[in-house]
Amino acid sequence: MPVELRLTKRFLKSLQHLGDDEHARVEVALRQLQQSWGAPHQHTGLSVRRLHAGYFECRAGLEIRIVFRAGNQGLDLVFAGTHDEVRRLLRQA
């Protein structure tokens, strides 16, 4: 059963800085994540990994990472951006 994805304001704002190709990759990655969350062998292609304190990331292509938090009711999408942007975000958290 697909997990619920909740888009935060920060996530929506981060999408504004992405190009059309990157948007398309994010959409594909989110569909895959939604269908495969909770089944580790199914989401290996997304390179899902734990960052810290409940935060995870997955890849949307080679350049873009999607940061999210796992909760009881689903996944809160926090940010989409490059590896360096994600590192900056985590330093602020």
pLDDT tens digits along 38-50:
776 665 678 899 9
69 Cβ contact list (under 8 Å, min separation 6): 54, 55, 56, 75, 76, 78
Using alpha carbons only, what angle is made at residue 86 by residues 18 and 26, rounded to the nearest 5 degrees? 40
Q: Give the range of the structural domain holding residue 72, as residue numbers without chain letter.
A: 5-92
The CATH number of the domain where 50 resides is what?
3.30.2310.20
Residue 27 has pLDDT above 70, yes or no: yes
Number of domains in the chain: 1
Residue 91 has pLDDT above 90, yes or no: no
Kindly report the pTM of this predicted structure: 0.91
Can you tell me the mean pLDDT for 53-60? 91
Residue 36 has pLDDT above 90, yes or no: no
Can you tell me the mean pLDDT for 54-59? 92
The pLDDT of residue 74 is: 93
